[in-house]
Structure formats: structure tokens, C-alpha cells
Amino acid sequence: MELTRPKELAEQRLFQAILVQALEDVLNPSNFKKETYWKEDAYKWFYGNSEDFQDVCWAADMDPELIRGEFIKLIKNKKIKFSNKQQRWLNYRELYRLYREADSKEERREIKKKITKLA
């Protein structure tokens, strides 16, 4: 009697777990910074319908169109939404990205003022 699952089934379950984790991340109501960033990343991953997203879905033996359709339904039914605090963290993240990419001290100074206002 074989106690281990075939390699293909194990890989399929791994990719299903990736989808479940991304869904948990996007539904997370936490206002902590890290979890908000994970939520946004998962949101963009589902919404963007990238090749990576599609590959993960197919490897999980799931139709990406069906998965995205359910994701869009969750948005329309307001099951997936960003709180005010989460939106502030996302604004902070974007401003900090712009700060790091700024070409001049003046640009950085102006962006830093906006970051400080968020705090």
C-alpha cells in the first residue's frame, strides 16, 4: 500500500495553496502595514491576470477565468475592500517608492513632506 501521493497531485496541491494564500491575503482586514502590502500585492495579482497568475491557476488545475470571475464578484459585493488605514499605508508605500526614485534633493524634500503629513 502506497502512503505518499503522486508527485503531480502534490504539485497541484502546492499551487492550490498559493491561490488560497493569495485569497486570504486579499480578504485580510488587518490594518498592519505588512499585511496591507500583501493585500495590495494579492489584489494586483488577481486583478492583473498576468501570465504568472494564469500559470499558477492551471498548475492548480483551475481555470484562471473562473478564479478571476469569482474575485471580481467579491469586489462587486464589497467583500474585498481597503479600509482608510490600509489606503493610507498604500499611499505611504507609493510615496516612499517615489522618494527612492527621485532624481534631486528638491524632489525628495517635497515627497518627504507628503510622507510626513501621512504620519
pLDDT digits (tens, 9 = 90+) for 19-33: 999 999 999 999 999
As a whole-number percent, the residues of the chain with pLDDT over 70 amount to 96
pLDDT (average), residues 74-79: 97
Domain extents in the chain: 1-81, 83-119
What is d(CA 40, CA 86) in angstroms, rounded to the nearest whole number?
Answer: 9
Report pLDDT digits (tens) over 83-114: 999 999 999 999 999 999 999 999 999 999 99
CA distance 107 to 111: 6
CA distance 107 to 83: 29
Amino acid at 17: A
pTM strictly above 0.85: yes
